[in-house]
Amino acid sequence: MSKSNFFKIDNLSLQGIDEDAELIPLMTPEDEEEINKEELPSVLPILPLKNTVLFPGVVIPITAGRDASIKLINEANNGDKTIGVVAQIDSSIENPEAKDLHQLGVVARILRVLKMPDGNTTVIIQGKKRFEIDEMVATEPFFKATVKAVPEVKPAIENEEFTAIIESIKDLSLQIIKDSPTIPTEASFAIKNIESHSFLINFISSNMNLTVEEKQSLLATNDLRDRALSTLKFMNTEFQKLELRNNIQSKVQSDMSQQQREYFLHQQMKTIQEELGGVSDEGEIEEMRKRSKNKKWSKSVKKHFEKELFKMQRMNPQVAEYSIQRNYLDLFLDLPWNEFSKDKFDLKRAQKILDRDHYGLEEVKRRIIEYLAVLKLRNDMKSPILCLYGPPGVGKTSLGKSIAESLGREYVRISLGGLRDEAEIRGHRKTYIGAMPGRILQSLKKAGTSNPVFVLDEIDKLSNSHQGDPSSALLEVLDPEQNSEFHDNFLELGFDLSKVMFIATSNSLNTIQPALRDRMEIINMTGYTIEEKVEIAKRHLLPKQITEHGIKPKDIKLGKAQLEKIIEGYTRESGVRALNKQLAKVVRYVAKNIAMEEEYDIKISNEDIFKILGPARESNKYENNDVAGVVTGLAWTSVGGDILFIESILSKGKGNLTITGNLGKVMKESATIAMEYIKANAEEFGIKAELIEKYNVHIHVPEGATPKDGPSAGITMLTSLVSLFTQKRVKKNLAMTGEITLRGKVLPVGGIKEKILAAKRAKIKEIILCEENKKDIEEINETYLKGLTFHYVTDMSDVLKHAITNQKVKNCKEL
């Protein structure tokens, strides 16, 4: 429906559809009386209409494309030509059911049937009277229903109010026809010649720009006075819109005249400039054509460029599209089509660069060298898509720089954190004002080559919105089978990304779309040990801070013991980002003393660290608690591993279980499983079954302000409960991690390296792990495992054998 027309006056001239069609007369009050006397058929074929509501007396053409509708029309046209017409509730449903139709419709008579060349059928129908569906008696091959007439409540002829409403409708209709440039003036004759008040209202309601719901509401109004008032209300609204549109059109026309005048003046200036030897737009186009000769384009790309350049040549430089077209062609020329930097496959040099820039991370560097070796042996191989996954501050982003340097490639990086618009990846269509290419092509333009090392930072922090899903857009970018023809909406051509070495970084794999994760080779970057952090601080962080703060290396001495003090007391992370900030504070302290010419000791002591950084944070350490129900567990956090304590106590009650400590759903389930396993196997543990019914159990995990979740505390909770009910001591300097099942089986968990490092920091001596986690221990450097004893278990009986001693705790309760 055209929003520029108030009335769809095309319906007045239906005879124009066919030269032999006869003119359909306007309905008179006498016609209405005759129709009202007619009896409705016992069963009526029902024709559903999309986006159309038929009113009594009104003639409309409809196009039928559905098989059921065509069958209905042909059968009715060969019979008494009477059908029932109802509107669909939802026009998007292609094959509606009975529940998808409005119950109120109009009996119609078929006036003419026309076969269209496209296979559809156009039928001209005239509404007669309203009906309501009583019961749907058939759905195949088309709808059939029993119906009942819906009478119309008409005001008395002498009703002055109703007469005034009708006159207002006529006057307003004529005014709208006069003011609208799109409605032919002949329409006013039709309005003037309508005698029936009911038909006048129906005619105008049918031809107004209203929604299906609004028209259906008018049709369903039984009282003719109320329907007339509603129609007048809609007309008033549309008349106000028409006046507003006319005012805007008048202003635009005035502005266009001014723009045309300015255009002619600009053309004259252009001619004068050319006469005086100035630069014209032709010079700009010729410059583009010269630049294109040096491009390594395929025939199709070159042909597309010439076509777009010709289009720009024919444009008026003053219109907005001209600048968009110029930007488009500039991008076309600036993109590195088939331009590659030569790779330096010196693997020994690459190893030196990685070792120079990153201390530790031996496993990560080994895998990167392996990838580079394969690229060296297979020059035609598509670049791998890597994902460096690990906690913040472990060097994921900087590793990308080192890879670029070792290969001799350009380095580009985009941050994807918080990105929620698909157009940021694919670009905007150049038909939009302010359109630009996506960030992928913009970065390649900046790099100047088609094979840079491209870092997609924080890929796990992508989000989606009504503007699209950037994760889905990246599927094409990161798929080696598809990215040779990456389609950017702005460029409108495929661009080859297959030689780009994409490196994504992520802190978590859980928030990455599974299909996207599947396209990447995951390289896990675990945290650093204290010893590694000390070396990183000495080799990289401290020299960098000294340079940035304008002091000299001889101005400060920071020993190993002091570095360990800062790491253990003032940072809590797997990486070194917080350590870098703390070192910056120490260096600023020295810089201040030098700048103010104050005396200070260049050798920083523990007392100086306390003075500069304040009190140290107490890290979690093993507590030798001789209390039943207290067990040490191992946990993984976003900043590395940590130890946690599971505490449980008994209180007289009815066997209820209480769980506290800001625990997540999975961890609460682990506590429930542990309690149920105790109940089911009480005799095996030497626990009297009646004790469980007489006492309430409270399990608590300290540091309640910190959210905790995951299944790895399962065996720790069960050990705590066994110790509680038996009042037996848990082995000293022992920690554990593992998931349990209701059958008492121990399942493997993740984050093993981080948990081992946390155990070492906490002076733990023995660790209980699932048998299947043994492979994780074998992958860890032996240096980190020194001083630790591991017990590998398969079920809870093994756990308790290693964890629970035969000694009772001090002050044990007699249960």
Token pair in block for residue 272:
């004068």
Q: Is 526 exposed, middle or buried (0-12, 13-18, 19+ CB in 10 A)?
A: buried
Q: Is 31 exposed, middle or buried (0-12, 13-18, 19+ CB in 10 A)?
A: middle
**Does residue 494 have a known ligand-binding role?**
no
Q: Is-cis flag, bond preceding 480, omega within 30?
A: no
Token pair in block for residue 235:
């007309």
Question: Which one of the listed residues 196, 206, 450, 712 is annotated catalytic?
Answer: 712
Distance CA 186, CA 12 (A): 10
Token pair in block for residue 595:
């700048």
User: Among this protein's residues, is 91 annotated catalytic?
Assistant: no
Q: Note whether 219 and 53 are within 8 A (CB).
A: yes
**Does residue 396 have a known ligand-binding role?**
yes
Distances (CA, A) of 491 to 337, 375, 446, 559, 596: 12, 30, 16, 57, 58
φ/ψ (deg, to 5) at 364:
-65, -45
Largest CA distance in the chain: 115
Q: Is 348 exposed, middle or buried (0-12, 13-18, 19+ CB in 10 A)?
A: exposed
**Does residue 391 have a known ligand-binding role?**
yes
**Does residue 61 have a known ligand-binding role?**
no
Q: Which amino acid is at 757?
A: L
Question: How long is the chain?
Answer: 815
Q: Give the helix ranges, DSSP H, for 115-182.
A: 160-179
**Does residue 85 have a known ligand-binding role?**
no
Token pair in block for residue 18:
């066919």
Question: Which one of the listed residues 215, 430, 533, 755 is annotated catalytic?
Answer: 755
Distances (CA, A) of 44 to 146, 308, 545, 651: 6, 59, 89, 77
**Does residue 394 have a known ligand-binding role?**
yes
Beta bridge partners of residue 501, listed in sequence order: 453
Distance CA 327, CA 334 (A): 10
Distance CA 815, CA 133 (A): 77
Q: Is 696 exposed, middle or buried (0-12, 13-18, 19+ CB in 10 A)?
A: middle
Q: Give the helix ranges, DSSP H, for 459-605.
A: 470-477, 514-518, 530-536, 542-548, 560-570, 577-595
**Does residue 750 have a known ligand-binding role?**
no
User: Among this protein's residues, is 383 annotated catalytic?
Assistant: no
Distance CA 48, CA 83 (A): 11
Q: Note whether 295 and 304 are within 8 A (CB).
A: no
Distance CA 531, CA 359 (A): 11
- Among candidate residues 368, 389, 363, the one with its CA nearest the CA of residue 517: 389
Active site residues: 712, 755
- Feature table: binding site: 390-397
Q: Which residues belong to the annotated binding site for ATP? A: 390-397
